[in-house]
Amino acid sequence: MRGIKTLTRHLSLKRMSSVRLQKFISDAGIASRRAGERLILAGSVTVNGRIISELGSKVDPDRDEVVVSGSPVKARKKLYIVLNKPPGFLCSRTDPEDRRVVGDLLPADWTNLYTVGRLDKESEGLIFLTNDGDFCLKLTHPRYGIRKQYVAVVEGRLQSGQISRFTEGVEHEGEILKAERVRLVDSNNSHSVVEIELAQGKNREVRRLFEALGHEVVELRRTRIGPIKLGELPVGKWRSLSPVEIQSLTPKPKS
């Protein structure tokens, strides 16, 4: 009986430690999960010397030897970074035109990190970087409903009634854009300051919302993602997310 229990426990632990092969390849920074699937189907991946060409195959990262296109693959430590992006930087590790990128602000050996979502070149503020594909998905897919807060400085005077249209939905270039919450912070004849919260994560959404009302955004800063605030993190600096913060950012999908 004791032997059966020991075997059952061993098999249970093995199931817990095993991961899908394409996920292991993605987590190691070799390729995205879909690209990893293509490598598997093409017969470019071996596990313990045997070619694996079936999707859904699992490996134990601590025991199995995985080779992709002739090169051994090792599991990488997962990193979760908060960066206060300065304006004028691209959300990329490198750039063929040699423009400034967020990768310039990070340790040189963190080449496997990628941004979670994006901020356009002239926007600034809070952005995450990671090598964890699942974490990235949960923060960017609309079904998880992760809200992001911004402070925008726009040209011209805005009225409270005018920006309340954002929560009702505004059409721009054939697409409906909508804010979850909007607050007019300050307004004068030349400029207005608006705090706005979004959940959809569409491309250049804040700028397009104001453009739909005929106002140009001249400054845009992201101040919060989910429960994580920018706080006192200096511009151009980064810090690691704590385990508690990581847990707070991985909710279950909305029903």
Write out the two tokens for 236. Answer: 């151009």
Number of H helices, E strands in the chain: 8, 17
Half-sphere exposure of 152 (CA within 13 A, CB side): 29
SS3 7: helix
**Could you tell me the two tokens for 147?**
């809200």
> Residue 104 has which token pair?
């310039």
Query: Which of these is catalytic: 27, 62, 95, 120?
Result: 120
**CB neighbour list of residue 171: distance below 8 Å, 6 or more residues apart:** 177, 212
Residue 192 burial by Cβ neighbours in a 10 Å radius (0-12, 13-18, 19+)? buried
Q: Any catalytic annotation for residue 120?
A: yes
Q: Which residues face 228 on adjacent strands?
A: 225
Pairing of strands 148-155, 50-51: unpaired
Question: Can you give the length of the chain in residues?
Answer: 255
| CA 233/CA 236 separation, integer angstroms | 9
DSSP-derived secondary structure letter, 3: H
Cα–Cα distance between 21 and 33 in angstroms, integer? 9
* Strands 238-240 vs 217-225: parallel, antiparallel or unpaired: unpaired
Active site residue ranges: 120
